[in-house]
Amino acid sequence: MANDYLFTSESVSEGHPDKVCDRISDEVVDLFLNADPGARVACETLTTTNRIVLAGEVRGPSHLMDGDGVDKDMIEKLARAAVKDIGYEQDGFHHETAEVEIYLHAQSKDIAQGVDAAGNKDEGAGDQGLMFGFACRETDVLMPAPIHFSHRILKELADTRHADAKSGLGPDSKSQVTLVYENGVPVRAASVVVSTQHDEHMEQEDIREVVRAHVEKVLPAGWMPPEDEFYVNPTGRFVIGGPDGDAGLTGRKIIVDTYGGAAPHGGGAFSGKDPTKVDRSAAYAARYVAKNVVAAGLADRCIIQVAYAIGVSKPLSLYVNTEGTGKVGEDKLVKAISEVMDLSPRGIREKLDLARGIYAPSAAYGHFGRTPTDEGHFSWERTDLAEDLKAALT
């Protein structure tokens, strides 16, 4: 790995068309899990001009959506409420007037029999696949700095928009941060790009100054890029945005959701999936393990990979790479992790308490590097495994 380089990551706001879809899909997951912790959900959402379409498979209270328990009216109200909370009250996309279509049906019995525990068979993975987790010391939340700052810039803009109806800012926005690394450490921003939807009356220079204040707040002192490398709404106008400007789909921002390209990604999206889907739960577990390895002082950087087969409870493989920063051998870390963390789907779900409605807040501004809450959100960001890992190595 080179010592001196530039590295770039991007983020998108809660009002980005794809993120609107992620939010709605995760609201459906939460709805079902709050009604039944054993519910199964695989919900995909499409948004376009004043239209919301949900499709997928569910099992739980009224899995046939026949009006008993969770029904289509509840889901439609939930989707509209999510769009309202994000802030869409525009002619081309409005929480009251958008057409909502729901095509959720029962989960395949073939999939269900592989996942369900029965007799001596433990709960199996909901699909095959490989998942990655990552942690590093570039920020206090043990995340890569470019994605961390990209998320925070947009969250600051969103907080301002929600707090001030006259801010002139719209829900749809994107950021991109390029950092200069010297001797493998980020030292300043080479460039920052922010595009934000805005009211018709706002001038380009006004938007630039609004954005500048938030970027300066987020970046460490002295890290602002040169003025000619600070790009705000480079096209000059961003009035039409959200699903009215571009169609959105669940799961299209997987690199934004994870590490901004600083670490591998297994390919599976998170949003819209209950915790039997290892695309989601095992990626959370891999982040949890990697973060605790770094938090324990066992490495400065840590990549974890796990792999699964559908219907099989035990992971097929566990890989650890500390990128030359490990304080102990990676073979010893694999052994210690296996001792202190059950990486079966059931083990992950129980350790991180994932079988409840905690997912909607993760739909925007990243699934990782967030603050765990007393209500169980972002439990995979805890560092309570660090001491167990150290003990297993003694």
Task: Judge whether 5-11+146-240 and 129-137+278-392 match in fold.
Answer: yes
The model's pLDDT over 248-292, given as tens digits with 9 standing for 90+, comes to 999 999 999 999 999 999 989 999 999 999 999 999 999 999 999
Architecture of the CATH domain 5-11+146-240: 2-Layer Sandwich (3.30)
Choose the catalytic residue: 18, 30, 127, 274. Answer: 18
Average pLDDT over the chain reads 93
Burial of 346 (C-beta count, 10 Å sphere; 0-12/13-18/19+): middle
CA dist., res. 16 & res. 19, Å (int): 5
Q: How far apart are the first and last CA of the chain?
A: 31
Active-site pick, 174, 198, 349, 351 = 174
Which value, to the nearest 10 degrees, does the dihedral of the CA atoms of residues 90, 95, 96, 102 take?
Answer: 130
pLDDT at 30: 97
Tell me which of 105-114, 149-158, 199-208, 240-249 is least confident: 105-114
Q: Is 174 annotated as a binding residue?
A: yes
Of the residues 7, 132, 149, 238, only one is catalytic, namely 238
Active-site annotation holds for 332: no
Q: Is 44 annotated as a binding residue?
A: yes
- pLDDT band for 113, please (50, 70, 90 cuts): low
Domain boundaries, the chain: 5-11+146-240, 129-137+278-392
3-class DSSP assignment, residue 120: coil
Active-site choice (148, 252, 349, 367): 252
CB distance 315 to 307 below 8 Å: yes
Where do we find the tokens 């994605």? Answer: 147
273 is catalytic: yes
Nearest to 66, CA basis, from 16, 106, 96, 97? 106
Q: Identify the architecture of domain 129-137+278-392 in CATH.
A: 2-Layer Sandwich (3.30)
Query: For residue 101, what are its two tokens?
Result: 């279509």
Name the residue with higher pLDDT: 14 or 121: 14
Residue 119 scores a pLDDT above 60: no
Looking at residue 205, what is its pLDDT?
Answer: 92
Q: Tokens 């970046």, residue?
A: 219
Is 140 labelled a binding residue?
A: no
Q: Judge whether 250 and 21 are in contact, CB under 8 Å.
A: yes
The dihedral over CA atoms of 353, 355, 361, 362, expressed in degrees to the nearest 10, equals: 80
Tell me, yes or no, if 174 is annotated catalytic: yes
Q: pLDDT-derived band of residue 64, with 50, 70 and 90 as boundaries?
A: very low
Closest C-alpha among 48, 258, 239, 300 to residue 132: 258
Q: What are phi and psi of 37, to 5 degrees?
A: -60, -20
Q: Which of 161, 198, 214, 253 is catalytic?
A: 253
Q: What span, in angstroms and rounded, lies between the C-alpha atoms of 46 and 103?
A: 11
Taking phi over 0 as left and psi of -120 to 50 as alpha, with beta for the rest, 323 belongs to left
DSSP three-state, residue 35: helix
Nearest to 44 by CA among 216, 271, 258, 236: 271
Q: Above 70 in pLDDT, residue 165?
A: yes
Is 273 annotated to bind ligand? yes
Sign of CA dihedral 141, 144, 148, 149: positive
In the residue annotation, 101 being an active-site residue is answered as no
Query: Is 346 annotated for ligand binding?
Result: no
172 has binding-site annotation: yes
Given the residues 55, 247, 309, 392, select the one marked as catalytic: 247
Instruction: Tell me whether residue 96 is one of the annotated catalytic residues.
Output: no
310 contacts 278 by C-beta, under 8 angstroms: no
The count of other CB atoms within 10 Å of the CB of residue 314 is 14
247 is catalytic: yes
Residue 323 among known ligand-binding residues: no
Q: How remote is the C-alpha of 78 from its chain's centroid?
A: 20
Strand pairing class (185-198; 230-232): parallel
Q: Based on the residue annotation, tell me whether 384 is a catalytic residue of this protein.
A: no
CA separation for the pair 251, 255 (Å, rounded)? 10
Respond yes or no: is residue 368 known to be catalytic: no
Known binding residue 22? Answer is no
The β-bridge partners of 196 are 173
Does 57 appear as a known binding residue? yes
Exposed, middle or buried: residue 3 (CB in 10 Å: 0-12, 13-18, 19+)? exposed
Active site residue 77: no
Q: Residue 18 annotated as binding?
A: yes
Helix, strand, coil: what percent of the chain each, to 5?
35, 25, 40
Please give the average per-residue pLDDT across 119-138, as a whole number: 84
Q: What is the pLDDT of residues 43-63, one digit of tens each?
A: 999 999 999 999 999 987 655
320 with 338: CB under 8 angstroms?
Answer: no
Is 16 marked as binding a ligand? Answer: yes
Q: Is 145 a catalytic residue?
A: no
Catalytic residue among 14, 274, 279, 381: 279
Write the single-letter amino acid at 33.
Answer: L
Burial of 20 by CB count in 10 Å (0-12 exposed, 13-18 middle, 19+ buried)?
buried
Query: DSSP code of 344?
Result: S
Report the C-alpha gap between 93 and 89 in whole angstroms. Answer: 7
Known binding residue 89? Answer is no
Q: For residue 195, what pLDDT band results from cuts at 50, 70 and 90?
A: very high
